Amino acid sequence: MIISISDSYKRFGLSAIGFALITCSSLVLNAQDKEPPLTRILFIFDASNSMNGVWEGKPKIDVATKLLSQALDSLRGAENLQMGLRVYGHEKNYLHGQDCDDTKLMVPIGNNKAGAMKSALKSLKPKGTTPIASTLEKAGDDFLKCPTNDCRNIIILITDGIEECNGDPCAVSMALQKKGIILKPFVIGIGLDLEFRESFECMGSFYDAYNEKSFSNALGVVISQALNNTTATVNLLDINDNPTETNVNMTFYNRNNGEMIYNLVHTMNNRGNPDTLQIDPVYTYRIVAHTIPPRIKDSASITPGTHTTIGIPTPQGSLEFRMQGVNPEANKLQIIVRKAGEMQTLHVQSFAEIQKYIVGKYDLEILTLPRTYIEDVEISQSHTTTIQIQQPGVATFSKLGHGHTTLYQMKKNELELVATLSTTQERETLSLMPGQYVAIYRPLSARESAFTVEKHFKVTSGTSVAVRLNQ
């Protein structure tokens, strides 16, 4: 379509801890290989009195320590991995009064800690209360300065009860995430009533272990997520919901704290399908597709162990500009593009540029002299809308001496300001759009309004006119 100026106004299939043995792979989201980040996992283990309870014929503490120990054995020798263990509810007997400070870092985060963590687990005797919030607060200090400046700090909480010390684990968790201290925690609930589920879902990713097998599976899934990347495809959808749009810059943010994680240019593979990305499943992402205007996927979760497809509606068409005739100055022109009826500038497009926009209507302000305004220009799917403007003319102003000169355009018998000319230049040339104009001049030396000079003239496309501001 060509518009001329004259027309313009008118669940997871994972079953065993062994899955977590998959080697940590590097992220290959950029053209260049990137060293994988250091993953630091702090296990927080519930050793409160309730862990003495029988679960499927065995004390919960026995089941939990056995399975966690097996998981730790499986992690021996894993690359780019450090681990630590914090325990709560194990030092003061609940019967002797509640101790909400009963939390301790038993094994500091570091390399080759599996043996020390297994020994610590064997020594536990469940006694006390469940201070989850204060434990999380202290856990934030357990992650010392990252030795590589690129660390993934992850908490895995294993518990059979909810907060008992009037703290707010959800608020603490969110604060730690927003500060960038930890990623979204994982919570494995052992034999918890469903009514308590909401108490943990707000903390992070919650997994309900209703029996020993489900606990084993949940532990395997969680560790897998902590260690491994998975794959995803971002479909940039056209107006028909087909994934045809591409070559769009995309930014992936950590939705919890706003941290920028990835910057990518959307690509089609050699089969014409959206490219497959290797991506960290720990985060919940806010994805911004940098179209004009941007399109946002506010919350995108990645399912580990499977391929996740994310759809973002980004239907686009193109906008270009042409000028009648030949004018070497045309490519210097710029156009302010706004959404129809809005004042915010979306983009400043050069005259020589063909730019894509989201399908819809736009208002244009072309920086000609005087400016040209076109409203409700429609951008359609996969179509180029061409705006054609007239070639300007040239007006040369001359005056006998220094003076005040103001240029107006005549519109419906009203004067509209176009420009103020130099007071010191005696000769000046302007490119003006076709139309009727008035130049008003008064010499600096004149001390009476009667010496004002008024010159009416017409500018025609592609021609020149001389305007002599003489008395």
Q: Name, in order, each residue with C-beta under 8 angstroms of 161's C-beta and a sequence gap of 6 or more.
A: 46, 48, 50, 130, 192
DSSP state of 333: -
Look up the CATH number of domain 17-227: 3.40.50.410
Task: Match domain 316-389 to its CATH number in 2.60.120.260, 1.10.10.10, 3.20.20.70, 2.60.40.1120.
Answer: 2.60.40.1120
- Beta strands 414-420 and 403-411 are antiparallel
Output b/e per residue, 326-352; b: 16+ Cβ within 10 A.
ebeebeebebbbbbeeeeeebeebebe
- Cα distance between residue 101 and residue 133, in whole Å: 10
* DSSP class per residue in 337-370: EEETT--SEEEEEETT--EEEESEEEEEEE--SS
Q: Which CATH class is domain 230-313?
A: mainly beta
Looking at residue 26, what is its pLDDT?
35
Report the predicted TM-score, pTM, of the whole model to 2 decimal places: 0.70
Looking at residue 229, what is its pLDDT?
64
Which residues of the chain form CATH 3.40.50.410? 17-227
Looking at residue 339, what is its pLDDT?
97
- What are 442-452's pLDDT values in tens digits? 998 888 888 89
- Beta strands 284-289 and 355-358 are unpaired
What is the distance of C-alpha 77 from the center of its chain? 35
Contact, 210 vs 263, CB < 8 A? no
Task: Match domain 393-469 to its CATH number in 2.60.40.1120, 3.30.420.40, 1.10.540.10, 3.90.1150.10.
Answer: 2.60.40.1120
Contact, 132 vs 88, CB < 8 A? yes
Q: How many CB atoms neighbour CB 455 within 10 A?
A: 16
- What are 72-97's pLDDT values in tens digits? 998 988 888 999 999 999 998 877 77
Helix (H, G, I), strand (E, B) or coil at 316: strand
Q: Which amino acid is at 128?
A: G
Per-block mean pLDDT, blocks of 10 residues, the chain (471 long): 46 37 36 67 95 91 93 88 95 84 96 95 94 95 88 92 92 90 88 77 87 89 80 94 96 91 91 86 93 97 83 97 80 93 96 95 96 97 95 93 93 93 93 96 88 94 92 59
Using alpha carbons, select from 427, 413, 424, 423 the residue that is nearest to residue 466: 427
Contact, 252 vs 287, CB < 8 A? yes
Q: How many CB atoms neighbour CB 195 within 10 A?
A: 8
Which residues of the chain form CATH 2.60.40.1120? 230-313, 316-389, 393-469
Contact, 186 vs 156, CB < 8 A? yes
* DSSP class per residue in 362-411: EEEEE--SS-EEEEEEEE-TT-EEEEEEPPPEEEEEEESS-EEEEEEEEE
- 352 to each of 143, 205, 359, 365, 395, how far by Cα in Å? 53, 50, 21, 16, 24
- The Cα angle at residue 74 between residues 73 and 75, in degrees rounded to 5: 90
Beta bridge partners of 58: 55
